[in-house]
Structure 1
Amino acid sequence: MLCIWRFVVPALLLSLLVGCTPSPPPTPLPMHWQPIDSLQALLPDDIRVYAGRNDSLPLRAWYVRIDEPDPAITTRVVVSDEEDRRESASSFARDPGVCVVANGGYFTMKRTPAEHVGLLVHDRAVLAAPSTTFQRDSLTFEAVRAAIGFREDGTIELGWAAAQDDAILRWSEPVPNRPDAPASLSTTAEPWPVRDALGAGPALLVDGAIRVTDDEEVFFGTSIPETHPRTAAGRTRDGDLILMVVDGRQPESRGVRLDELAVLMRDVGAVDAINLDGGGSSSLVVRGTLLNRPAGDTLQREVMSALVTYCE
C-alpha cells in the first residue's frame, strides 16, 4: 500500500510519498508528568520543565518545552572549544545566560580530539559533513540521516540532511534502504538555509505520525535501535522546541527503544522529532541543575556538541 507522510515546517513543506508496510501500533507508555516548580521559578514563562515517571515499567523522563521563535530566547547548536573537543552538559551550562542544555549528536569517543559523526553547522559554517556511505557486511548503502535545524529567526525545521562542498542540503525523504536491499541517494535535495544544524538520527515523528527511519538511515547492525537512555529533540505544531531525556540502565528506569521514544515525544506535543546521541551521553541541564542520572550515575560523559538555550 502507499503511505503518505509530511514534514510541515513554517518556511518549507516537505512531503514524502513512499511504499511501506503498516506497522503494529506502538505500546502505550503512560507517564505521570508534573512541572518542576523549584526550577520553573528560575525560568521565564516561555520555558517549561517537567518530570515524568511510570513505576510499573519502570521509567523516568524529563522534558523542556521552549517557545520558539521568541526574541528573548535563542537556541543554538554549540560545539566544545576544549582541546579534546569534549565537555559535559553542565560545563556548557556555565556560559552566561544559559537556561537549558541537552547533549547533541554522535561523536568519536576513542579519538582525540573528538570528531563529530553527523551534520554539524554553527553560524552557517559547516563544522562537520556527515558521511552518506555506509558499509554493512558486503553491502554498501547510501543514506542521509535526520537533523534538526534553526533558521536565523529561530524557526525550527527537521528533515534528512547532509553537506556537500560547504552547501547544506535537505532531502524531502530518506533513502528507502532495507537491511538486505541498498537504495540509491536521490539527487532531489534542496538548499537548507539554516543558521545552526545538528545531525544524529533516526527520525522519530513526521507531522504527528510515528515514523522511525532507522533502517532507511542505516542504523541496523548497530546498537542504536536497542533499549537505551535517550535524548530527543522535536518541534510542536506551533513551532515550540521540545527537548527530552529518558534515563536507562538502572533499577528506577529501564530506558526505551526508538519507537517508545517516539511515543513519549508525541504524547508531550511534538509533531516532528529526531533521536540524538544517547546512552551515557544523555543529559539535560536546566539552570545549572542536571535533571537525570546519565546511565545510572551522577557523573556526566563529556560530549562534543549540545543544544543550548539562552534566555537572558
Structure 2
Amino acid sequence: MHKPIILLLLLTSMTGRAQLRWTKADSAYGPMPASMHVYSAVDTFHGFPFTGYYASVRLKDRKLLFTAGTGQGKRFTPSQYYQLEQQPLLVVNCTYFSFTTNQNLSVVVRDGRMLAYNVNTLRGTGPDSLLYYYVTRSAIGIDRKRRADVAWLFTDSTRRWPYAFEDRPIVAKGQDTTASIYSLNDIGWKWWKMRTAVGGGPVLIHDGKVFISDREEQLYPGEGREGEHLPRTAMGYTRDGRLIVLAVEGRSSGAAGITLQEEAEILHDLGCYEALNLDGGGSSCLLINGKETIRPSDAAGQRPIPAVFLVKWQK
C-alpha cells in the first residue's frame, strides 16, 4: 500500500471525521453571478444516506442584495415568496414560528428595521417550574459594510437595535414573567446594528470551532451530539467573506437527515468561522432561481412559513 494512502487512513481513523464529496451544481440552477456557486452531495455520512446542497455567495459583490422577507402575519411557501419577492436568486427558510398565530419566534431585520423579535422568556420545568428562564437566542446578520456576524441576542420591541452578546450566550432565571435586559445581570452587550438579519439557533460554530449552544438557547437541549436525524437548514460565513447557506434533506429512504453535531461538522469542513442552525424539519427548503434543491419532507411539499432569507440582484 502506498504511503499517501496509509497516511490518509491514519488521519481518518485519528479524527473520526467523515468527509462529504461535494460537486458543483451551477449548471442545473443557473444563470447566477460569478460570485455565487451551488454544490450538491449525494453520499453517505457517518453511516447514513445523505443528500444536501449549499450555496456559497461572496458578500462583497455589490451586484447582490442580501435581505429578508416576511408574510406580514401570514405564511407562504418558499415558491410563493419567490414570486412575491420578484424572483430572487436564493430563497431559504429561517425563523422558528407559531403554527397557531403565524408569529415569528426569532428575530427578523430588513433594511435596518426589526420586523420580528426573539423569544426571551421561557417557563421553567421540574424544580424550576415556578421560575422563568431569560435566554439569548442566536441570529446571523449582515451590516451596511457587508460584514456578516453571528451573535446571541436579546430583543426589545421598544428598542431599535437588538442587544448582542458576541462571546457567549447568557442564561438567567427569575420570577418576572417578562424579561428586560437587566434580568440577564450582564453588561457585556453591544447594539447589533445589522442591515439584514434572521434568527434561529442554536449556534454551531463560534470563532472557528464547533460550539453548540443548544442548552443555553433552550433549543433541542441535550440533542447536540446524539440527537435526532432531521432535515436541517443552516447559515454561516467564512473568514474570506463568503456566506454559506446549507440545506440537508431528511425523513426519506434516500436521505436520513443529520444531527446538530453532524451539521456543525459539515459547516466547519466548509470553512465557516461562525454558523447557526435555523428552523428545520418540514420547514427546510432552499430554492435557487426558483428551483428546489432538497425535497421538503412534508407530504404536501413546501411548508408555508412566515419569513425567508433572500439573495437578490441589486437594482
2:303 partner amino acid? R
1:63-78 pair list within 5 angstroms: 63-78=54-69
Structure 1 residue 275: Cα displacement: 0.5
Does the aligned pair in 2 maintain the 1:116–1:128 contact within 8 Å?
Answer: yes
The whole-number CA distance in structure 2 between the counterparts of 1:132 and 1:93 is 31
How many residue pairs end up in the alignment?
Answer: 280
Match of 1:6 in 2: none
The whole-number CA distance in structure 1 between the counterparts of 2:69 and 2:18 is 32
* Structure 1 residues 158-210: Cα deviation after superposition (integer angstroms, max 9, x where no partner): 111122222322112202579xxxx9452321111111221110000012100
Taking a change above 3 Å as real, the CA distance of residues 177 and 211 of structure 1, as seen in their structure-2 partners, is: farther
The whole-number CA distance in structure 1 between the counterparts of 2:100 and 2:221 is 20
> Which has the larger strand fraction?
1
The whole-number CA distance in structure 2 between the counterparts of 1:200 and 1:36 is 27
The whole-number CA distance in structure 1 between the counterparts of 2:93 and 2:282 is 10
Structure 1 residue 297: Cα displacement: 4.8
Tell whether 2:106 aligns with 1:118: yes
* Structure 1 spans left out of the alignment, 5+ residues: 1-24
2:69 match: secondary structure: strand
Does the aligned pair in 1 maintain the 2:109–2:198 contact within 8 Å?
Answer: yes
1:76-95 pair list within 5 angstroms: 76-81=67-72, 84-94=73-83, 95=85
Does the aligned pair in 2 maintain the 1:200–1:276 contact within 8 Å?
Answer: yes
- Rg (Cα) greater in structure: 2
* Structure 1 counterpart of 2:49, from 47, 58, 61: 58
Match of 2:170 in 1: 175
The whole-number CA distance in structure 2 between the counterparts of 1:211 and 1:45 is 32
1:132-171 pair list within 5 angstroms: 132-137=120-125, 138=129, 139-164=131-156, 165-166=158-159, 167-171=161-165
| Paired-residue identity, % | 27
TM-score, length basis structure 2:
0.82
* Structure 2 spans left out of the alignment, 5+ residues: 1-13, 174-182
Match of 2:10 in 1: none
2:86 partner amino acid? P
* Structure 1 residues 72-118: Cα deviation after superposition (integer angstroms, max 9, x where no partner): 0111121124xx5211111222233511111111011122xx10101
Match of 1:194 in 2: 194
The whole-number CA distance in structure 1 between the counterparts of 2:55 and 2:246 is 7
Match of 2:20 in 1: 31
2:206 partner amino acid? V
> Which has the larger helix fraction?
2
1:64 match: secondary structure: strand
1:227 match: secondary structure: coil
1:276 partner amino acid? L
Does the aligned pair in 1 maintain the 2:58–2:243 contact within 8 Å?
Answer: yes
The whole-number CA distance in structure 2 between the counterparts of 1:99 and 1:300 is 18
1:72 partner amino acid? K
The whole-number CA distance in structure 1 between the counterparts of 2:94 and 2:30 is 26
Taking a change above 3 Å as real, the CA distance of residues 177 and 254 of structure 1, as seen in their structure-2 partners, is: farther
2:217 match: secondary structure: coil
Structure 1 residue 38: Cα displacement: 2.3
The whole-number CA distance in structure 1 between the counterparts of 2:15 and 2:249 is 20
Match of 1:215 in 2: 215
Match of 1:47 in 2: 36
2:277 partner amino acid? N
The whole-number CA distance in structure 2 between the counterparts of 1:192 and 1:126 is 11
Does the aligned pair in 1 maintain the 2:50–2:255 contact within 8 Å?
Answer: yes
Structure 1 residue 26: Cα displacement: 8.8
The whole-number CA distance in structure 2 between the counterparts of 1:203 and 1:249 is 23
2:263 match: secondary structure: helix
Does the aligned pair in 2 maintain the 1:103–1:303 contact within 8 Å?
Answer: yes
Match of 1:311 in 2: 313
Match of 2:176 in 1: none
Taking a change above 3 Å as real, the CA distance of residues 285 and 170 of structure 1, as seen in their structure-2 partners, is: same
Taking a change above 3 Å as real, the CA distance of residues 192 and 37 of structure 1, as seen in their structure-2 partners, is: closer
Match of 1:19 in 2: none
Structure 1 residue 144: Cα displacement: 0.2
Taking a change above 3 Å as real, the CA distance of residues 288 and 295 of structure 1, as seen in their structure-2 partners, is: same
TM-score, length basis structure 1:
0.83
Structure 1 residue 140: Cα displacement: 2.5
Taking a change above 3 Å as real, the CA distance of residues 101 and 220 of structure 1, as seen in their structure-2 partners, is: closer
The whole-number CA distance in structure 2 between the counterparts of 1:169 and 1:252 is 42
* Structure 1 residues 266-309: Cα deviation after superposition (integer angstroms, max 9, x where no partner): 11221110000100000000011011111165710011111100
Does the aligned pair in 2 maintain the 1:250–1:296 contact within 8 Å?
Answer: no
Does the aligned pair in 2 maintain the 1:203–1:212 contact within 8 Å?
Answer: yes
